[in-house]
Structure 1
Amino acid sequence: MKAILSKPVPGLGQTGDLVEVSPGYFRNYLRPRNLAVEATGKNVASVARITQQQQRAAVREQHEAEQLATRLAELPIRVTLKAGENERLFGSVTAADIAEKLRDAGYEFDKRKIVLDEPIKRLGLYTVHIKVHPDVEAKVNVLVEKR
C-alpha cells in the first residue's frame, strides 16, 4: 500500500515522501506512531500543496539572504585598535569584534556565522565571509586602523 510520511523514518524516507509499504507495517507501526498517513487523493493533494508552499518560502528566504549579502558587501566596517611597530596589533580582531560592529550597524549575526581563517593581527583591509544562509555567503570588507 502507499503511504505519505508525516515525519522522517530512517531507512524509508523523509517527511512528505510517498512510499510503498506493507499494510501490516503501516497499520502496526507507522500509523500508531503518527509517522505516516494513507495515500488518498486528498492527502496527496494536501502534501503537494504544502510542498509547493515550502519551496516558495525557501526561494523567498534565499532571495532575501542574497539581498542582505549585497547590502553587507557595501557596508564599511572599521575597527580601530592600538598597534605597535610593523603594524602589529596589541591583541587581535576576532569574529566577536566583527559581530559587535555589525550589531552597531543594525545587523544581528552570531559570531559563529562569521568565518575567519585566523584572528586578524595586523593593520589593513581584510575580506571576511559571513554565512547569511546555508547557500549564501556575504563578503564584508573590514578595515583595521590604528587608534
Structure 2
Amino acid sequence: MNIILTEKVNNLGNLGDIVHVKPGYARNYLLPQGKAIRATKENIEIFEKERSKREEENNKSKSEAEKLSKELKDISLIILRPASETGLLYGSVSTRDISKLLKEKNHSITHKQIVLEKTIKDLGIYEVEIKLHPEVGKNIKLNVARTEEEALIQEKTGKAVVESVEENNDDSIDPKTIDEISLEKLDGDKALNETSSGNDPNDKITKKLKK
C-alpha cells in the first residue's frame, strides 16, 4: 500500500514522503495514529497544496519540543513501591504512573509519549525515553525504590537495594560430618534393637511395679 507520511517515521521516511508499506502496518498503526494518509491521486494533490503549511507547523512543534527537552535535562524521577527482599515489586510501574509523576512536576507529558520496552516490575535505576516530537526524544532517569533512603543508596551505587542470596554449589561433605551422622545412626539402631528385644528400660520399671 502506498501512503504519504504526515510526519517523520523512524526507518521509514520524512514528512511528505510517499512510501510503500504492508497493508496491515498502514491500517493498524500509521493511518489510525495520524502518521500517514493514503497516497491516492486526490490526497497527493491536496498534500502538495498544504505542504508548506504542514512543514511550518512541524517546525514550530519541533522547536517547542526541543525547548521542553532542555527543561527536562536534569530531571530525575523517584517512584516508591513495596517490593520483596529480592527486589520484585508487589505490582508494577507503567507509563501512566510516570506520566502522572511528570504532571505533578508541571510537565504535561501523556502516557503515549513515554516509551517502555516492558512494564517495570523490579527495583532499580531505569532510563525512560520520552517522545516529545517525531524528531525529538529525551531520556530521563527513573529510580524505583522501596523507601527514600534506599532511593538515595540506589542513586549513589546505580544498583537496586536487594538482599544478596549466596548459592552454595559445593556438594562435598566434611568427613567429620559423615562420622557424626554414622554415630547418630548407630545409636538409633541400638535403641531400636533394645526395644524390639524387650530390653527397654521402661519395661523393667513396669515389671517391678507389677511385683
Would the alpha carbon gap of residues 14 and 101 (structure 1) be closer, same or farther in structure 2, given more than 3 Å must change? farther
1:46-125 → structure 2 map (5 Å cutoff): 52=52, 54-125=54-125
Task: Give CA deviations for 1:70-103 in whole Å, capped at 9, x if unaligned.
Answer: 2223211110111111122111111111011011
Answer 1 or 2: which has greater strand percent. 1
Aligned match of 1:130: 130
Task: State whether residues 69 and 139 of structure 1, in contact with CA within 8 Å, keep that contact through their aligned partners in structure 2.
Answer: no
Between the aligned partners of 1:103 and 1:55, the Cα distance in structure 2 is 29
Aligned length: 109
The structure that has the greater radius of gyration is 2
More relative contact order, 1 or 2 (CA 8 Å, 6+ apart) = 1
Aligned match of 1:11: 41
Give 4+ residue runs of structure 1 displaced > 2 Å after superposition: 14-17, 50-58
Answer 1 or 2: which has greater helix percent. 2
Deviation at 1:54, TM superposition (A): 4.7
Q: TM-score, normalised by structure 1?
A: 0.64
Identity %: 27
Task: State whether residues 81 and 145 of structure 1, in contact with CA within 8 Å, keep that contact through their aligned partners in structure 2.
Answer: yes
Deviation at 1:10, TM superposition (A): 1.7
Query: Please, what is the CA RMSD of the aligned residues?
Result: 2.2
The one-letter amino acid paired with 1:109 is I
Segments of 5+ residues of structure 1 without an aligned counterpart are: 1-7, 18-46
Segments of 5+ residues of structure 2 without an aligned counterpart are: 1-37, 148-211
Local SS of the residue matching 2:46: coil
Aligned match of 1:35: none
